Each structure stands twice: as structure tokens, then as C-alpha cells.
Amino acid sequence: MEAAVSPLPDDIEALKALLASATQRAQEAEAKLANAHARESATEAVIAHLKLQIAKLRREQYGASAERTRRLLDQMELQLEELEADAAEDDLAAEAAAQKTAAVTAFERKRPARKPFPEHLPRERVIVPAPCSCPSCGGSRLSKLGEDVTETLEVIPRAWKVIQTVREKFACRDCETITQPPAPFHVVPRGWAGPSFLAMLLFEKYGQHQPLNRQAERFAREGVPLSTSTLADQVGAAAFALMPLYRLIEAHVLAATRLHGDDTTVPVMAKVKTDTARLWVYVRDDRPFAGADPPAALFHYSRDRRGEHPRSHLASWSGILQADAYGGYGELYAAGRMPAPVLEAGCFAHARRKFFELADVASAARKKSRGEHAGMIYPIAVEAVQRIDALFDVERTINGKDANERLAVRRELSAPLMAELHAWLTTQLARLSRNHDLTKACHYMLRRWDAFTRFLDDGRVCLTNNAAERALRCVPLGRKAWLFCGSDRGGQRAAVLYTMIQTARLNDIDPQAWLADVLARIADHPASQLDQLLPWNWQINRTAIAA
């Protein structure tokens, strides 16, 4: 029997050459694939733009047959906004992939010719200091040949201006060498938007729930006409530039030993009608037990609510998860789960809410005064709310204290209350019919009793999952303003920007000011020191702001 012959050479230098060739082919394939994605995104954006123009022309020619037509145009505007941002993001990815190889040229998307900035905007000349001597020969006999002016649109709250960055050219009379300072950096390659303008654009869209088409209308009223697609380009490119910070926040959140988790619905554009997608949030907040680590919120997007999504989000994480009773978390709590099982901590706010709905005396009185049908008020539900409220009274006295002190107080005061609550719920359950709403409320707690008593064994555990619900509040607040996400990519981009803005808010930092400074500094900031730009490490340059 003949021995198998290896197709690989035995010589080390030949192996190195073979590896270099394989690496080059892989980089070329990656660049070609990135170009294909960029070309596809650009084509989709052009098609959406043309469809929108046709719809507008039809409306102008034949008139609106119904109010639904106006809403349809608004939906198409939002869809175009997301597609333009996708195209800008893919364009940058293709350019980054093409820089790794000389054999593939980066795909360049055709963009509409940008109009010059309005003449009425004030101009501020910032002259880049020129060298005092020739960098080539050291001669000091320099003569000015001219200058190149780069105009950047910048915004000061409610006041617009165009910053003209002047790069003077000089020629050396001794050696005829022409010298000029390098062009200024833009967070968007070949961009025209300043960092403060970009920060305002992002914060208004994701922090103040103002879609780009409404922002464009406001800018036009202020005398600065900018198209929605132009603004969407900037959003996509800025999201691409901020991804390294998103990864750092993700690592910080998943380094915690206790997390709050929750999700909420978000409509997303589909072919026939909008689908119901999900935004997930995981919050690290150690302030209730005097933890030294800063708080942060991590958002993820998914097209549905299948349990595989939280499993993938927390695949490498183990610890205490404070969440509602969503069944998709079940496999995280499994005993054989790797790297380790996640410990479930119940939310007393959810448990209390089920009883409170059956004991809301004030709501029943309001309905009765309006002549509406008021539901029955159950004394058992009232007593359940009072018993749970007694636990919250204990928690208020220890909030913000260290974990050991919280645990000692809980074992002394809360443990007896929990034992009494368990016995009382068991007794009431035996008296109620199987399908009664109170029975369901009792079962909600008794079937998860280990999760609800977790706070008696660990002082870090909170009584509720309200930290996650507070972080998610921005989504339902904005849903009626921006209606839906234009695509799955738009939902993923929203998750990135929500992570940035909500993390800044958790650290009591103005998100817009922080984003403006980060976008101005992130390109030339050392990668090894990128954590300095995180909200809790961020230092405002007060001298620059005063200037």
C-alpha cells in the first residue's frame, strides 16, 4: 500500500510563499465581495429613489386619491433613507477591503453633484500653519503660490456656518519644491459635514426620534437645503465609524456578572406590510449595590423573537440575568449549559403588575365616574400588592449600599416577608378556581419561586428589572414618530446608535456633545487608547469649547 503524498511542499520558504499567495487571493476575493455588496446597495438605493420620484410625479399629475397616498410617500422616504445609509456603509467597507490588495479597485458609487453651500452663510477661515522652511532642503526662501480651500458645513445651535480650511501652497526658491499641509480629516471620507453637525444629525434621529426627512425640512426652513439621501449618507458612514466603540461597550457589558435583559417590538418594512421585529437590550448597572464599574446599555436587533437570539447574544456569558418570564431564556438557565448556566432573577415589578391590574381602585373609580364598565376589585389582589410593597419598602432603605450590607438587611427583614408571602399565595391558590386571573398571577410567582428568592442569596440582585425597561423606553417613545425601520440593516444601525446614546445618558453625559467630540477625534486616536473615548472615560476639552 503506497503512502499518501502531501500536496504541500516541505520547504519553509515555499510554504511561506504559498501562504502569502493564499492570503492575497483571500483578500482579493474579500474585496470583490465587498464591491459586489456595495454595488448591490447602491442599485437598491437608486431604484428606491426612482420609485419615490415616480410616485411623487403621479401624485402631482393625478392628485391624491386618498390620505393613504401621503402616508405611502412617507414610508417610501423612510425606506430610501435606510437604503442610502446602507449604500454608504457598504461603500466604505468595499474601500477598506480594496486597500488590502492592489489587484482590486474599490467600487465608487455615483452620487448626485453636491450644490455649493448657500452664500449667505458666514465663512470662518481656519488657516493651517505653513512651514517656515522647506521640508525638502531646509531653505527659508518660501513664496506663496496659492491655496486650496476645503469647505465643511458645521452647525452651532440654531446658527449655521461654513468653515473654510485653507491649505496654503509654498514653493521653495532654492530647490523648486512645492509644499502644502495635508487635507483635513473628515469622519466621512471626502465628506463635507463637520463632527458637530453629524452628532446633531444622529442624536435628532435616534435620541429625539426625528426622521431624516423631517430634519431636512427643518434645515430647508433655516435656509440650508439638504436632501434626505445626502443626510442618510452621513448617517451610514458615521455608524460605520462608531462601530469600534460599540464593540468596546459590548465587551464592557458582557464582562458583568449581573445583567438586566428585556426586549420590545419595532415595526420593520416588508414587501407587503410591516413585520414586527425586536430590539433587545442588556443593561449593566452596578450602582444599586455601590459597584465601581460604570453603567452601560447594549442593544441588538432581530427580525423575530425566537429564543436563539438571546442565546447568541449571551453565548459566552454566564452570571445572573434579571428578566421577565420569557420562555426564550429557558436554555440559558439549563443546568448543562456551557460555559456555565445563567441564574435567573425574577422581577417583582412584573409579578406586582399582575395583581395590581386586579386591585387598581383608582382606575376603577375613574371608569365609574365616566360611566364606563369598571372591573371587579379583588381583596386578595389588594393584599398581594400590599405584601409585595412591603418588600419594596425594605429595598428603598438599602438602595445604593454595598452588596454585603444589602444582603444582611434582606436576610433579617425581607426573608420573613417572603416566607409569609409564599405560605399566603399557596393558601389562596387552593381557594381559587383554576382559570381565574388571580390563579394565573399566583402561579406566575410560585412556579418561579427560586428566581424570585434569588435576591435573598446575593446582595447584588435587584428586586426589579426596571433598569432594562428604562433603557428601552426610548423605542416606544419614538415609534409613533419614525413609524418603522426601513430595513433589517436599519434596525441593526438603530441598535448601534441606541447603544451609544443610552450609554451616555446612563453616565449623565450629554449624548450630542459626546458624539461631536468622538467623531472629531476617533480617526487619529490610537487604537490601543480607544477606551478613552467611552462615555465614562470621556474628558471634555473645555478650552476648545470656550474658543
Predicted confidence band of residue 541 (pLDDT cuts 50, 70, 90): very low
Question: Cα–Cα distances in Å, from 3 out to 6, 8, 464?
Answer: 9, 15, 67
Residue 452: all three cell numbers together: 424570585
**Does residue 483 carry a pLDDT above 70?**
no
> What is the domain partition of the chain in residue ranges?
16-98, 115-191, 250-476
Q: pLDDT digits over 238-279, tens only? A: 999 999 999 999 999 999 999 999 999 888 877 667 788 899
Measured CA to CA, the distance from residue 173 to residue 280 in angstroms comes to 64
All cell numbers assigned to 535 = 462615555
pLDDT in the model for residue 250: 96
Handedness of CA 323, 403, 500, 162 (dihedral sign): positive
Count the Cβ atoms, other than its own, within 10 Å of residue 220.
Answer: 12
| Residue 40: burial class (beta carbons within 10 Å; 0-12, 13-18, 19+) | middle
pLDDT at residue 544, as a whole number: 45
pLDDT value at residue 107: 61
For residue 355, give every residue at least 6 positions away whose Cβ sits within 8 Å of its Cβ, in sequence order, or none. 381, 384, 385, 388, 438, 441
Which pLDDT score, from 0 to 100, does residue 116 have? 83
- pLDDT per residue as tens digits for the range 505-535: 999 999 999 999 999 888 888 888 899 999 9
pLDDT band at 546 (very low <50, low <70, confident <90, very high): very low
* pLDDT value at residue 259: 96
Report the distance separating Cα 467 and Cα 324, nearest Å. Answer: 12
Predicted local distance difference test score (pLDDT) of residue 543: 39
- Please give the average per-residue pLDDT across 181-198, as a whole number: 82
Quickly state the pLDDT bin for 363 (edges 50, 70, 90). low
Mean pLDDT of 140-163: 85
Residues in the chain: 547
Each residue's pLDDT tens digit, 311-320: 999 999 999 9
> In this predicted structure, what is the pLDDT of residue 171?
92
Question: CA-to-CA distance for 415 and 412, rounded, in angstroms?
Answer: 6
CB atoms within 10 A of CB 373: 7
Model confidence at 406: pLDDT above 90: yes
Burial class (CB within 10 angstroms; exposed 0-12, middle 13-18, buried 19+) of 274: middle
Q: Which of 262-271, 340-349, 398-407, 445-454 has the lowest mean pLDDT?
A: 262-271
CA distance linking residue 360 with residue 365, whole number of Å: 9
Q: Give mean pLDDT, residues 339-352.
A: 92
Determine the pLDDT at residue 408: 95
Q: Cα–Cα distance between 489 and 85 in angstroms, integer?
A: 9
> Would you place residue 545 in the very low, low, confident or very high pLDDT band (cuts 50, 70, 90)?
very low
CA torsion sign for 336, 342, 343, 346 is: negative
